[in-house]
Chain A
């Protein structure tokens, strides 16, 4: 027996067979009827549709056979699929390949076999339609052809499987496409070459407000307003003829028309494709109405914003986080004289600010925020960055160099997440306000003075009548005159207080700050008010919890604070009461002074206005208790000028304690008071014990110091810090003191530093010193005589500080004379106009400013506000000015025609001698 061979395409054949998905399925009529026909036609005992699987042949349809499958090895069909033509055996017993085949020897005793191969669409023979009989028989050519025809019919049925599968795939893709089209937010409309709508997705329905069935089959121009509507057909025709495109393949913004005729802006992109030879145009449409409405709103907002920015009277400048200017509005342009182009996009804020002022603010801010703030943009934004309000007065500099005062508020700009995106500064030119303040202060001052003249007469007359001429008066008249006299005294106090308060609040009252001991001051105040307390039968008691409470203050003004608080406490204490004063630390940073009485307390209704002017709990107080009602306002103003604050505790009918707190004195705080800065001295000494003794001596002299243990360290410090003097040991670990002095004298930054030699070899050094004697202030032996050191320091400090004079004068002769007179006594500079003087006053420090009043561009007096308070001012002019009208800053007034040269020089020397 011969087993059937495997065909060359066996693997693909099996794959194709399995793809038909017909193996092991139930019998189907469409196959069975074909096998029935074949059995009828050929009168054979068996007809089969046999599919040849890897190991078996399986019968999809069978007539005359029970078995559903047999092994491939013994099959006839295995042979039949090897060729395209019909495999035909007329008598198997006579064929050596099959004679001993079990299917021939045994049931079904095959003699005749004829099988027509069944092929798939791609040509793989997967099975056979065969007829079998148990009698040998010959088939005619017509019979074989009929078998082939029937086999073709079976093939068609097998291929149905492919068709179903393709249809499934097609259905899947159709659904997919449909879903995609209906989910996109863009409208998708396809048209044919005539412009007839073929498809219309859901978004398109929404955009145009048509349903798909309403527009499919209609010309797409129903979706367009004129003129596109009429032009469209011609456009489409021209495109097809010439390829000339306006939209196709380009996309642009056009107008669309909704079902109700309303027209809207849309973005249209059209693509073209050819489908089975027919052109197809796909339009993708996006409704722009929303976007345009949003844009219009944004434009409107922007216009409004611009209008606000332009018309605002305040300067508005915004920057990004790094300080690059983004907005520089019209008012800012007007105020500062720079154009928008000059400022926007640039980090130019520094142009309009005074570097000195920025540096001073940086220092103050660093202290306040307890971190290092660099002088620069950060000074403006450090507080807003921390969510704090930054409202400050600044000096702004115009493009032309002129200056003006500005009140500036800076805010951080934040995005919705709270991240800072930039900063906004709003600035007001406060020149006018300052002028008004000045005028008001001058008015108050003048009025107060004017009031005092008649008051002098009234008080004088009353005092004299009561004191000298009361003999003939009736007791009634005497009483009335006493009332008048008492009230004239009250009026005097009142005017003094008003004047005081006005000056303190306007900052015009000079405070003479120095280092003070609050505890000692409290003792002094108690002693001074002892008499007044006794009059009222009150005992004063001092609780000192600290031996010393050093603060930076004005002694006179702080005594006034004590006096006010004590006299209030005494007045409101019950007879035989006690007023307790305490001085104690409130925290690391503040000392607290309390003044407590056990009086009737402050009525609740009165508490909120206790620090207001003319506040007294009830109007009878004024007569009963005396005082002007301004005491607490003045007290508060004084305390606040000391950077302190004042408050009280009160329990009605039990006690009241007023307390104020002042900052503990720290060396750094002094740095905020230029001109009062403690002078810094460098000690160059390698023995730490000696160095610390010297440091203590310097401290006693009110000087601060640094210590350098080597010559190298000292040289390095000297180039960085402007020391007022150097205390120098001659024997240093890394060199000789004398050599060091020579080196210092050769260096431009250090050649003026006064040197005091302190050394065991002082005498020897002095003798060896061949240089100019003046270059060393003194030679002191160890151990140091503190008296002599103090003298040497005094001399050194004076030597290091050459007084500077600025003379504002337009007459060249006067300048020449003055300069000659001053000669070497001071450094002399002059300015011949206000314009020349202003920048110098801003940039430099002068100890004395000599002012002419009549200058080419205005009155010299207008400079007074720009002169720093630690400069002296002397008027030297042809005008006889009324000193009453002048600032208290003016230390001397000389009239040109009436002043001898000697007097001029003497006055100048007297004024600069303080330095």
Chain B
């Protein structure tokens, strides 16, 4: 039986949201919820109970790291793996994101055709260890 991974993707850019939506639709084993801001994600996450959260870093108001902090404060989301999707991929930046609790970073611009596999790999990695 194939497990379904619930993914929450948070990005303020509508175009990128729809690219992600398009890239992941019909992908077996993945379901996608989209949020357009940090506060929206914080509000919805406890109900959605996603398995994996993908967070944009640069968002107006509450940015990715701040959203991560707020999500962590919620019951049930303390251990949910969070991945930043960002253009900031210098080794030090990646190290910083990991130090504040991200499991990994997906570099923008990403290859939409490879995104689903990338997410599956990440998920396998998180689940196993």
Cβ contact of B90, chosen from A467, A888, A893, cutoff 8 A:
A888
CB interface residues, A 867-915, toward B, < 8 Å: 880, 882-884, 888-893, 895, 898, 910
Give, as a whole number of angstroms, the nearest-CB distance from B12 to chain A. Answer: 9
CB interface residues, B 100-115, toward A, < 8 Å: 100, 108-113
Of chain A, the residue at the smallest CB distance from B15 is A457
Q: Give 19 new A-B contacts, CB below 8 A, not counting A449-B88, A888-B93, A892-B100.
A: A449-B58, A449-B87, A454-B15, A456-B87, A457-B19, A459-B110, A459-B111, A464-B23, A467-B113, A468-B113, A509-B90, A880-B62, A882-B63, A883-B96, A884-B57, A884-B58, A884-B63, A884-B88, A892-B99
Q: A463-B111, A510-B92, A882-B63 are in contact. Are A891 and B99 (CB under 8 A)?
A: yes
Q: With an 8 A cutoff between CB atoms, is A503 at the interface?
A: yes
Cβ contact of B109, chosen from A455, A510, A880, A898, cutoff 8 A:
A455
Of chain A, the residue at the smallest CB distance from B19 is A460
A895: B residues at CB distance < 8 A? 66, 69
Q: CA A467 – CA B66 in complex, angstroms?
A: 35
Q: CA A890 – CA B100 in complex, angstroms?
A: 11
Contact call A890/B96, Cβ cutoff below 8 A? yes
Q: A556-B91, A895-B69 are in contact. Are A460 and B23 (CB under 8 A)?
A: yes
Q: With an 8 A cutoff between CB atoms, is A619 at the interface?
A: no
Of chain B, the residue at the smallest CB distance from A496 is B89
Among A449, A452, A456, A910, the most chain B Cβ lie within 10 Å of the Cβ of A456
Q: CA A467 – CA B109 in complex, angstroms?
A: 16
Q: With an 8 A cutoff between CB atoms, is B16 at the interface?
A: yes
Q: With an 8 A cutoff between CB atoms, is A492 at the interface?
A: yes
A891: B residues at CB distance < 8 A? 96, 99
B57: A residues at CB distance < 8 A? 883-884
Contact call B100/A456, Cβ cutoff below 8 A? no
Of chain A, the residue at the smallest CB distance from B58 is A884
Give, as a whole number of angstroms, the nearest-CB distance from B101 to chain A. Answer: 10
15 interchain pairs (CB within 8 A)?
A449-B87, A453-B108, A454-B15, A457-B15, A460-B23, A460-B110, A460-B112, A461-B15, A461-B19, A464-B23, A464-B113, A510-B91, A510-B92, A891-B99, A892-B96
Q: CA A454 – CA B70 in complex, angstroms?
A: 27
Contact call B87/A452, Cβ cutoff below 8 A? yes
Q: A464-B113, A467-B112 are in contact. Are A457 and B13 (CB under 8 A)?
A: yes
Q: With an 8 A cutoff between CB atoms, is B3 at the interface?
A: no
> Is the contact region of chain A dominated by helix, strand, or loop, or is it mixed?
helix
Q: CA A883 – CA B55 in complex, angstroms?
A: 14
Of chain A, the residue at the smallest CB distance from B12 is A453
Q: CA A858 – CA B109 in complex, angstroms?
A: 37
Of chain B, the residue at the smallest CB distance from A456 is B109
Among B20, B92, B108, B109, the most chain A Cβ lie within 10 Å of the Cβ of B109
Cβ contact of A456, chosen from B19, B64, B96, B99, cutoff 8 A:
B19
B91: A residues at CB distance < 8 A? 510, 512, 556
Of chain B, the residue at the smallest CB distance from A886 is B96
Cβ contact of A460, chosen from B16, B63, B65, cutoff 8 A:
B16
CB interface residues, A 494-529, toward B, < 8 Å: 503, 509-510, 512
Q: CA A368 – CA B108 in complex, angstroms?
A: 44
A460: B residues at CB distance < 8 A? 16, 19-20, 22-23, 109-110, 112
CB interface residues, B 66-95, toward A, < 8 Å: 66, 69-70, 73, 87-88, 90-93
Of chain B, the residue at the smallest CB distance from A891 is B99
Contact call B113/A898, Cβ cutoff below 8 A? no
Cβ contact of B16, chosen from A448, A453, A510, cutoff 8 A:
A453
Q: CA A393 – CA B92 in complex, angstroms?
A: 26
Give, as a whole number of angstroms, the nearest-CB distance from A426 to chain B. Answer: 37
Give, as a whole number of angstroms, the nearest-CB distance from A191 to chain B. Answer: 95
B73: A residues at CB distance < 8 A? 898
Q: CA A882 – CA B65 in complex, angstroms?
A: 8
Q: A449-B58, A880-B62 are in contact. Are A456 and B110 (CB under 8 A)?
A: yes
A488: B residues at CB distance < 8 A? 109
Q: A884-B63, A884-B88, A898-B69 are in contact. Are A456 and B22 (CB under 8 A)?
A: no
Of chain B, the residue at the smallest CB distance from A880 is B66
Q: A890-B96, A895-B69 are in contact. Are A883 and B63 (CB under 8 A)?
A: yes
B22: A residues at CB distance < 8 A? 460, 464, 468
B19: A residues at CB distance < 8 A? 456-457, 460-461, 464
- B: residues with CB less than 8 A from A are 13, 15-16, 19-20, 22-23, 57-58, 62-66, 69-70, 73, 87-88, 90-93, 96, 99-100, 108-113
B88: A residues at CB distance < 8 A? 449, 884
Give, as a whole number of angstroms, the nearest-CB distance from A138 to chain B. Answer: 150
Give, as a whole number of angstroms, the nearest-CB distance from B70 to chain A. Answer: 8
Q: CA A889 – CA B88 in complex, angstroms?
A: 14
Of chain B, the residue at the smallest CB distance from A882 is B63
B100: A residues at CB distance < 8 A? 892-893
Of chain A, the residue at the smallest CB distance from B100 is A892
Of chain B, the residue at the smallest CB distance from A556 is B91
Give, as a whole number of angstroms, the nearest-CB distance from A833 to chain B. Answer: 27
Q: CA A461 – CA B108 in complex, angstroms?
A: 13
Cβ contact of A888, chosen from B13, B65, B96, cutoff 8 A:
B96
Give, as a whole number of angstroms, the nearest-CB distance from B28 to chain A. Answer: 14
Q: CA A884 – CA B87 in complex, angstroms?
A: 10
A492: B residues at CB distance < 8 A? 109
B113: A residues at CB distance < 8 A? 463-464, 467-468
Among A468, A509, A910, the most chain B Cβ lie within 10 Å of the Cβ of A468
Give, as a whole number of angstroms, the nearest-CB distance from B72 to chain A. Answer: 9
Q: CA A459 – CA B15 in complex, angstroms?
A: 11
Give, as a whole number of angstroms, the nearest-CB distance from A443 to chain B. Answer: 15
Contact call A463/B112, Cβ cutoff below 8 A? yes
Among B62, B69, B87, B100, the most chain A Cβ lie within 10 Å of the Cβ of B87
Contact call B87/A453, Cβ cutoff below 8 A? yes
Q: CA A895 – CA B62 in complex, angstroms?
A: 12
Of chain B, the residue at the smallest CB distance from A900 is B73
A889: B residues at CB distance < 8 A? 92
Q: CA A882 – CA B58 in complex, angstroms?
A: 8
Contact call A910/B62, Cβ cutoff below 8 A? no
Of chain B, the residue at the smallest CB distance from A458 is B109
A468: B residues at CB distance < 8 A? 22, 113
A910: B residues at CB distance < 8 A? 99
B20: A residues at CB distance < 8 A? 460
Q: CA A452 – CA B19 in complex, angstroms?
A: 14
- 8 interchain residue pairs of minimum CB distance: A460-B19, A457-B15, A452-B87, A467-B113, A456-B109, A463-B112, A460-B112, A888-B92
B16: A residues at CB distance < 8 A? 453, 456-457, 460
A458: B residues at CB distance < 8 A? 109
Q: A461-B19, A910-B99 are in contact. Are A456 and B108 (CB under 8 A)?
A: yes
Give, as a whole number of angstroms, the nearest-CB distance from B65 to chain A. Answer: 5
Of chain A, the residue at the smallest CB distance from B97 is A883
Contact call B108/A452, Cβ cutoff below 8 A? yes
A880: B residues at CB distance < 8 A? 62, 66
Give, as a whole number of angstroms, the nearest-CB distance from B87 to chain A. Answer: 4
CB interface residues, A 575-615, toward B, < 8 Å: none
B70: A residues at CB distance < 8 A? 898
Contact call B65/A883, Cβ cutoff below 8 A? yes
Q: CA A781 – CA B96 in complex, angstroms?
A: 44
Of chain B, the residue at the smallest CB distance from A469 is B22
Give, as a whole number of angstroms, the nearest-CB distance from A208 to chain B. Answer: 87
Of chain A, the residue at the smallest CB distance from B111 is A463
Q: CA A488 – CA B111 in complex, angstroms?
A: 11
